[in-house]
Amino acid sequence: MKLSVLLLEAGLELVPEEIWEEPSVIKNARRRGKKPSEILLDISVHYQAAKKLKDWFKRGRPDIVHSSLLQILDSPASRRGLVNTYIHTYQGLIIWLDHSVRIPRNYNRFVGLIEQLLVKKEVPPGSRKPLLKVLDYKLEDFLKESGLNGLILLWEKGERKGLRSIISEAVENNYAIGIGAFQHGDFGEYVLEIATKKYSIFSESLPAWIVASRLITAYEAYLNLLTL
């Protein structure tokens, strides 16, 4: 009866090497007492530098992940251990989150946590039971290794379907549900190709945290955890 949620192509990455020498990156790194290679790309801070990157409009948005995770991890379903949450980044990394993890509500503390994770590959570093971990799998391989039978993609161009029906299909068939966690643009061809089903819950694109909130609420109603 558990629900698996994937935040897909998340704009969550350390500043790439090609813009380490950009003024906004150097200034931000010095202010924080870190190397440019150890700080998160944030388009609100590194805007001019980020525009030089491929697909820059999909990258450098840690706040989208932060807002979405707060909606998912603070939910009654997640607190009861009924939601498996994962992050798939634009760079192709998979981040696993333990059921017990509670991410910082403060955005700056969240940034520090993710920077440590991407540098050390797990948090706490060297722990026998890490709360967050970077997994060395491609998305398709990760789905197989996790025992999932497929991926339902929530996509505005997909077939229109209600959330309760999507939840039912995902839980009964052991499919993960994927939410785009980037600002602009579309899913990459790779993600679209491996998706088992593609469904739309609204005629337009919605912010990831809104989709996450509605998805979890529908799941809790499906489980009769909430009365709607």
Are 24 and 136 members of one domain? no
The domain that holds 164 is classified in CATH as: 3.40.1280.10
Domain count, the chain: 2
Residue 110: CB atoms within 10 A of its CB come to: 20
Range of the domain at 43: 17-55
Spatial distance between the Cα atoms of 19 and 193, rounded to a whole number of angstroms: 31
In a domain, 37, yes or no: yes
Same domain flag for 129 and 203: yes
Q: Is 162 exposed, middle or buried (0-12, 13-18, 19+ CB in 10 A)?
A: exposed
Same domain, 77 and 115: yes
Would residue 227 count as lying in a domain? no
Q: Does any domain span residue 192?
A: yes
pLDDT tens-digit profile of 114-139?
999 999 999 999 888 999 999 988 99
Interval 148-199: pLDDT, tens: 999 999 999 999 999 999 999 999 999 999 999 999 999 999 999 999 999 9
Q: Order of strands, edge to edge, in the sheet holding 175-180?
A: 122-123, 132-135, 94-97, 83-89, 3-10, 175-180, 150-160, 197-200
- β pairing state of 150-160 and 122-123: unpaired
Provide DSSP, 162-206.
-HHHHHHHHHHHTEEEEEE-SSSS---HHHHHH-SEEEESSSS--
pTM: 0.95
Task: Examine the domain organization and report whether 51 and 98 are in the same domain.
Answer: no
Residues 103 and 41 grouped into a single domain:
no
pLDDT at 98 over 80: yes
- Residue 228 inside a domain? The answer is no
Q: Are residues 109 and 203 in the same domain?
A: yes
Same domain, 92 and 192: yes
**40 and 131 share one domain:** no
Kindly state whether residues 85 and 190 are assigned to the same domain: yes
The pLDDT of residue 7 is 98
Q: Confirm whether 45 is domain-assigned.
A: yes
Residue 24's SS3 state is helix
Q: Based on the domain organization, do 89 and 197 belong to the same domain?
A: yes
Write down the pLDDT at residue 228.
Answer: 66
The SS3 assignment for 62 reads helix
134 and 112 in a common domain: yes
Q: Do 36 and 118 lie in a common domain?
A: no
